[in-house]
Amino acid sequence: MEANMTKSGIIFEGISAGQPNSVFPVSSIHLPALVSIREFCRCMSIGRTTAYSLINSGDVEICRIGRRTLVKVESVAKLVADGTIPSSKSAGDR
């Protein structure tokens, strides 16, 4: 099964033979509001250095709860939807 993101929803192709592609509105998919840095890295297939570069540059918003740093999923979704994910070198210029 393959999924493609559109502005109106997510298209799942090849759910079952003979059925047309199905579109599920993004709002109907339940995602957590916050994820850990580890989950963020795993879902985006990026390393910790790139993750922290995106956070430090302000491209990805975080929330601190106690000692934990959690990533706001909404900010990641906006970044992906805009298609403007900077490279790790430009994201963390010092």
* pTM over the 0.85 mark: no
What does the domain layout of the chain look like in residue ranges?
Answer: 1-30, 31-94
Confidence class for position 25, pLDDT limits 50, 70, 90: low
Chain segment 37-83, per-residue pLDDT in tens = 999 999 889 999 999 999 999 999 999 999 999 999 999 988 888 87
| Distance of alpha carbon 44 from alpha carbon 53, whole angstroms | 14
Top pLDDT among 51 and 20 is at 51
pLDDT, residue 88, reads: 55
Q: What is the DSSP string of the chain?
A: -EEEE-SS-EEEE-SSTTPPPEEE-GGGS---SEEEHHHHHHHHT--HHHHHHHHHHTSS-EEEETTEEEEEHHHHHHHHHHT----HHHHT--
- Could you tell me which residues come within 8 angstroms of residue 45 by beta carbon, excluding any fewer than 6 positions away? none
